[in-house]
């Protein structure tokens, strides 16, 4: 049901043909422009420019190790996502990125080209195909929510574009999200374009040396680049194989906060409770027998508890007269008999939490989460500087930064969904027929916040206040004030005049003595 076999046929598009058939640049020209620095190099298909003499060492120590590191990184990201603070941030990010409009739709089709927008027949056909793909074939609302969540956790998302190979002209039939830890690719290091995607069917697989090797291996499934949709966070390490996700910058504060919280719990358990001091009367026993006797009494009366940082539970339940680690001391016959005393605990372990709050704030800052949303009474933090001064429409600066961050992530998904839609239209034959490109049509998403509308409303209110204070003065021209303070164009001013005349005709406004309308 995939695209691979279809794209192997003669029905390759002109764009794909051009990509496959383009001549390779000369090695001397490449090194002169890019300065790869490899010695004794050879152009190896599917791998790029590498030194053939040291390739096996390079592969074992770098390429294959990179894939193993990426799997470990993804697993650690998922472990981090189980932390309540991080889980809440991710959920907020996903919910705000996939908001629905008044029609309960997450995405919409924008026609950028004026010529296309003026053709009602084309608009109807594009909207029909858009609704068919994203509202019938694909459960957009549910799929996008899950894709955004996987993206924020793993730092990448892979999905297969599924077609009916028997009827490819029906277009994309569905999408299938693929586990990130099983996916890999080979890309051209000179152009940065991905040559092939593949999926490992078994754990601990080795990255193939070339596409030809991958085709012969039973533990690998190959995909044409057009068959896979791929979105990543966009921050790379030493190569495009090393992808850093949204959670990368929060690794250090995550580890620090987790360690500190564990130490606070342990401190509370060890220091807070009171302890018993048992003075056991051992009479005239020799020292060694007295110690053994005391140990025997201790074993009968207590069990030591340990704290499990993973589950947050104590390992054993205490027995009667047992509180954690008590003290057992032998007392000779010269004493007054056995005594039980108490050693006071220190309950301040949960009242002095400034260090915990400090690292919690660092964690939220690393996650780009607005400090104004964090409970000030618990986290001891306040919101950031406010836009809008003291007005009721003020917007916190960190809220705007958070919204802009989410908008950048939405744009990546919109670009990918636009590619998916154009591929669907290509199978249907409409892309070529209408000459469609990403510059002419674009899929959009609802903004994560209404801060832009709120800020614009504040600006409009301020402009009208300035206009009202000056327009009625004799020395001021209303036309000038409209241009200067309301920022109206001549067309908008004329439209307002025409509207006022229409108000008179409809009885909404009284005519003045000259037969005109009141300004």
Q: For residue range 74-84, what is the model confidence (pLDDT) as tens digits?
A: 999 999 999 99
Residue 4 or residue 192, greater confidence: 192
Strands 275-283 and 327-332: parallel
What is the DSSP secondary-structure string of 311-336?
A: TTEESS---TT--SS-EEEEEETTSS
Helical (H) or strand (E) element with 379: helix 376-379
Provide the CB-side half-sphere exposure for 24 (13 A, CA).
12
Q: Residues 489, 490, 491, 497: is their CA dihedral positive or negative?
A: positive
At 226-264, the pLDDT tens digits run: 999 999 999 988 888 889 999 999 999 999 998 888 887
Domain end, chosen from 317, 345, 373, is at: 345
Residue 378 inside a domain? The answer is no
In this structure, the answer to whether residues 280 and 244 fall within a common structural domain is no
pLDDT reported for residue 280: 75
Number of residues assigned to the chain: 519
β-pair type (275-283, 228-232)? unpaired
Is residue 321 predicted with pLDDT exceeding 60?
no
Q: For the chain, what is the domain count?
A: 3
* Higher per-residue confidence, 98 vs 449: 98
End-of-domain residue from the set 203, 218, 251: 251
Domain range for 478: 451-506
What is the C-alpha radius of gyration for the chain, rounded to an integer number of angstroms? 35
Is 519 part of a structural domain of the chain?
A: no
Q: Are residue 40 and residue 157 in the same domain, yes or no?
A: yes
Q: Which alpha helices (DSSP H) does 190-328 contain, by range? A: 211-216, 251-271, 287-301
Task: Indicate whether 17 belongs to any domain.
Answer: yes
pLDDT digits (tens, 9 = 90+) for 8-53: 554 445 544 444 444 444 434 433 433 333 333 333 333 344 444 4
Looking at residue 485, the DSSP 8-state letter turns out to be T
243 and 291 belong to one structural domain: no
Helix segments in 132-174, DSSP class H: 140-154
């Amino acid at each position: 049901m995939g695209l691979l076999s279809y794209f192997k046929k003669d029905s390759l598009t002109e764009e794909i043909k051009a990509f496959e058939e383009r001549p390779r640049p000369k090695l001397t020209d490449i090194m002169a422009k890019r300065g790869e620095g490899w010695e004794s190099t050879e152009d190896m298909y599917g791998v790029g420019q590498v030194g053939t003499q040291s390739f096996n060492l390079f592969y074992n120590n770098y390429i294959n190790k990179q894939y193993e590191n990426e799997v470990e990184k993804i697993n650690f990201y998922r472990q981090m996502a189980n932390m309540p603070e991080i889980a809440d941030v991710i959920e907020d990010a996903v919910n705000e990125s996939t908001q629905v409009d008044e029609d309960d739709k997450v995405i919409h089709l924008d026609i950028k080209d004026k010529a296309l927008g003026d053709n009602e027949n084309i608009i109807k056909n594009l909207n029909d195909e858009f609704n068919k793909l994203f509202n019938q074939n694909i459960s957009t609302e549910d799929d996008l929510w899950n894709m955004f969540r996987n993206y924020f956790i793993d730092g990448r998302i892979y999905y297969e574009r599924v077609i009916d190979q028997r009827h490819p002209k029906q277009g994309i039939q569905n999408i299938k999200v693929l586990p990130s830890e099983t996916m890999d690719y080979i890309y051209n290091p000179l152009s940065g374009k991905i040559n092939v995607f593949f999926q490992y069917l078994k754990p601990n697989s080795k990255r193939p040396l070339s596409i030809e090797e991958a085709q012969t291996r039973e533990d690998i499934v190959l995909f044409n680049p057009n068959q896979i949709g791929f979105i990543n966070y966009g921050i790379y390490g030493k190569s495009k194989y090393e992808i850093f996700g949204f959670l990368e910058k929060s690794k250090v504060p995550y580890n620090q906060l987790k360690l500190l919280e564990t130490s606070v719990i342990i401190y509370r358990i060890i220091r807070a409770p009171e302890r018993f001091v048992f003075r056991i009367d051992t009479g005239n026993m020799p020292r060694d027998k007295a110690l053994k006797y005391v140990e025997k009494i201790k074993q009968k009366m207590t069990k030591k508890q340990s704290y499990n940082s993973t589950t947050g539970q104590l390992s054993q339940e205490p027995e009667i007269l047992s509180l954690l680690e008590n003290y057992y001391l032998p007392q000779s016959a010269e004493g007054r008999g056995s005594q039980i005393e108490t050693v006071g605990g220190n309950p301040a372990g949960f009242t002095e939490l400034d260090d915990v709050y400090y690292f919690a704030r660092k964690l939220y800052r690393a996650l780009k989460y607005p400090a104004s949303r964090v409970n000030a009474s618990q986290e001891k933090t306040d919101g950031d500087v406010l836009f809008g001064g003291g007005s009721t429409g003020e917007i916190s600066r960190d809220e705007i930064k958070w919204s802009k961050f989410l908008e950048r992530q939405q744009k990546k998904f919109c670009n990918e969904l636009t590619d998916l839609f154009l591929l669907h239209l290509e199978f249907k034959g409409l892309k070529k027929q209408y000459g469609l490109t990403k510059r002419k049509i674009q899929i959009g998403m609802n903004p994560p916040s209404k801060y832009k509308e709120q800020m614009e409303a504040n600006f409009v209110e301020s402009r009208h206040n300035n206009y009202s204070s000056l327009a009625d003065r004799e020395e001021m021209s209303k036309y000038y004030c409209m241009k200067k303070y309301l920022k109206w164009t001549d067309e908008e001013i004329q439209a307002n005049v025409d509207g006022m005349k229409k108000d008179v005709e409809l009885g909404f406004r009284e005519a003045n003595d000259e037969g005109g309308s009141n300004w």
